[in-house]
Amino acid sequence: MAKKNILVIEDNHAILDVITLILESEAFNVAGLNKGAEFINHVKDFQPNVIIMDIMLPDVDGRILLKELKENNLTAHIPVLMISARYNSSNYMMDGIAADDFMAKPFNIDELMDKIYALLKNSSN
């Protein structure tokens, strides 16, 4: 079975490093971004099977990136797990577009992995 690609977009470098280390230890290919500026181009180049995305980024609201992703026919199928320290599962939508799952920070690593595996299982990619 081919390795799955996971794109993590998180502005906190420590959290990004921890998530990357954990995912790589589970044999995933991981790409990390800490700003939203090149997000869509990176998605098209890396072709992730799952995206883990922080809502609060320094240059753009993650919900705007989610909306762009889900409205693009080439990327709409990619499951997205939104994470945030300030938002909760009831207010992470953007114009009616919701992520496939949500986690509040701080999060439990086992729960993170369970959610990733569930997204992979439920997706067609």
Selection from 48, 21, 50, 17 nearest residue 34 by Cα: 17
Q: What percentage of the chain's residues is helix, strand, coil (to nearest 5)?
A: 35, 20, 40
Phi-psi region of 35 (alpha: psi -120 to 50; beta: other; left: phi over 0): beta
Q: With beta carbons less than 8 A apart as the criterion, state whether 7 and 46 touch.
A: yes
Query: For each of the chain's 125 residues, which pLDDT tens digit applies?
Result: 579 999 999 999 999 999 999 999 999 999 999 988 888 888 989 999 999 999 888 889 888 899 999 999 999 999 999 998 876 655 555 556 788 998 888 889 999 999 999 999 988 65
Domain positions in the chain: 5-120
pTM over 0.85? The answer is yes
Beta-strand runs (E) in 11-70: 29-33, 50-54
- CATH code of 5-120, in short, is 3.40.50.2300
